[in-house]
Chains A and B, each alone.
Chain A
């Protein structure tokens, strides 16, 4: 069994980006045309070959399309009003059916109501679910076990990115909103190197990490160090990272488009251990992540360079006074942080999200911040622990009753609650105020 139906079974739902960025083959013109665009299935698992029919309110057929590999359909209309959209059940793979919409959108005969406004795109939800969709199959304990392992997997991959985020925060005080784009960059480079250029996957992973590290080095050289020299305030710098994040996101979209890109096309072998079923690659990715994080931890705790980094985190002025080249340390931190994020990105695209999209990073950015804050701002070990906690919360929220995307909301909600009780984070120390 491939990873694909497995993910569908587990109810993995992608998070949609803001509506303005939704792919629109039909571009709505103000006062002239309206669009009905969408994807059969979802963007992570689109359905190919589904026949989508657009009908007017009376049920007369207007147009019919068959989806391609990306599952997309797009109708252009010149009259505003209510329409119906229908998917031919026979055109779907035989184990799938369209998830019925809420009562308000249910039309006759399994159709879905859409409201078309000129100059806008309507995006009806045509998600699929398994025909024998039911929760009865697996026992609750098994589901929990599966989720715990998935949570650890997500946590370890998040940790790769969040440790870097935390090191940057620790040494420079900067909350880097563009860090998530480094994650996306990792996945995108993986797509380019392995999928497009046909490189071996393992070589690709190594190359991606190195290239991303180089971008971190270049970023500090070209942007951050000059700005620190200029004496830009932290708030100001943070807004610069937001600008960078926006620019990068849309650059990704500009270059590779809107759709989900796979790093490698093949499907991976699945290994079942007890109640837990994951791809083999997932276990490998978890192993890689553990080893790399362990190495970073060793460097931080046991080597001179790590000592210097911690000294800069504690007190840059004092570190500089005791002969540490603070700029060099910060340069190194940026390089390592970007490399780790890139590695996290390609692994995430391989084993968690089954591909990479321009906004994949943006979707996990808040989880990264949550992990860093949860562990106590600026401590690398805290970020590691925080990431594991966040990973577990996200994956366990589903089986414990949080519907759909709410699992991300649960993680953020817990972060807010924790800040109420322990503003210094789980592992942070209480500090002197004023």
Chain B
């Protein structure tokens, strides 16, 4: 299921085939900072300190192109801060002492958030950032890059941009259809349900034709009924040839769709490996899963409402903690 409107690279090396992915990742050593056969993102010596507390301290990390990599870790492990750092929403404390990260052959060390997005690495947010007082369609159209009409001087003259606009509308409708949001296109985004907002945000990110998409807790606060379809969408992105890196709390989800798992704790990468390997690693269980020690990590019960509510509460606590830091 290849998306005709996506101009990004098509399926690469047959990675839509599970066996091929398994074979590819099997050769990678399951250790923090292990080299990958074809890394799309390489991060070196990136640290971030908030008022004396080290939130992120990653020495070396590589993300394999064309697969789904999950980033897991307990609350406060620095996952979101790490996301913020590599997408240009935050500056590393180590900016002047050797921090560097390369994406698709480009050095991103000193780049603003918008240039990171323009380089092809697009992110979503833990708390969805749908533009509530704009229509779903307008939300989508904002995703398209290199619009002539977004330049001030051309903006006043409709003929300069109307044909491009038409193409963007078509592309947006195509994506909305794929994400089952087409009939909502003229509604205000504020009126969508939490899950639909997540879908919209993902669809909007795809409007930028990314090479790599970074999802910050895509399942948080999503109605379980929508979870399956979200998972399906994420997998189809990979099958289209995109690289996916996502933060997730839900172990079941992680085990279900990820080809590779990176574990963070206290700002460091403490383990890497295929989902099964990592999750059975007792060290990881101790380091990370203390809170859920009594539950089976891959247990479907985690998808139950109660468990999800619990996770949501955790997310909320983490968020308010973060807001506290900002205030």
Q: Which residues of A contact B (CB under 8 A)?
A: 313-315, 317-318, 378, 429, 431-434
Contacts and interface: CB of A to CB of B under 8 A. Distances in A.
A315 B89 contact: no
A315 B326 CA distance: 10
Contacts, number: 32
Q: For chain B, what secondary structure do more than half of its interface residues adopt (helix, strand, loop), or is it mixed?
A: helix
Given A432-B326, A433-B326, A434-B90, A315 B320 contact: yes
Contact of B323 (A313, A315, A429, A434): A315
Nearest to A432: B325
A318 B113 CA distance: 30
12 contacts: A313-B327, A314-B324, A314-B327, A315-B324, A315-B327, A318-B320, A318-B324, A431-B325, A431-B326, A432-B81, A432-B325, A433-B326
Given A314-B327, A315-B327, A434 B89 contact: yes
Nearest to A170: B327
B320 A432 contact: no
Interface in B30-86: 50-51, 81, 84
B90 A432 contact: yes
Nearest to A377: B327
Contacts of A432: 50, 81, 84, 90, 322, 325-326
Contacts of B327: 313-315, 378, 431
Interface string B151-163: 0000000000000
Contacts of B89: 433-434
Nearest to A315: B324
Contact of A434 (B50, B84, B320, B321): B84
A378 B326 CA distance: 12
Interface residues of B, number: 15
B125 to A, nearest CB: 9
Given A314-B324, A315-B323, A434-B84, 8 more contacts: A315-B320, A315-B327, A429-B51, A432-B90, A432-B322, A432-B326, A433-B89, A433-B326
A378 B327 CA distance: 9
B2 to A, nearest CB: 34
Of all A-B residue pairs in the complex, the 7 with the closest CB atoms, nearest first, are A434-B89, A315-B324, A317-B320, A432-B325, A431-B326, A434-B84, A434-B90
Q: Give the residue among A313, A314, A378, A432 with the most B Cβ atoms within 10 A.
A: A432
Contacts of A313: 327
B323 A433 contact: no
A313 B324 CA distance: 9
A308 to B, nearest CB: 16
A313 B113 CA distance: 30
Contacts of B81: 432
A433 B327 CA distance: 10
A360 to B, nearest CB: 32
B142 to A, nearest CB: 18
A317 B320 CA distance: 7
Interface string B293-327: 00000000000000000000000000011111111
A315 B90 CA distance: 22
A432 B326 CA distance: 5
Nearest to B323: A315
A378 B323 CA distance: 15
Contacts of B320: 315, 317-318
A431 B325 CA distance: 6
Nearest to A429: B51
A318 B322 CA distance: 11
Nearest to A433: B90
Contacts of B84: 432, 434
A418 to B, nearest CB: 20
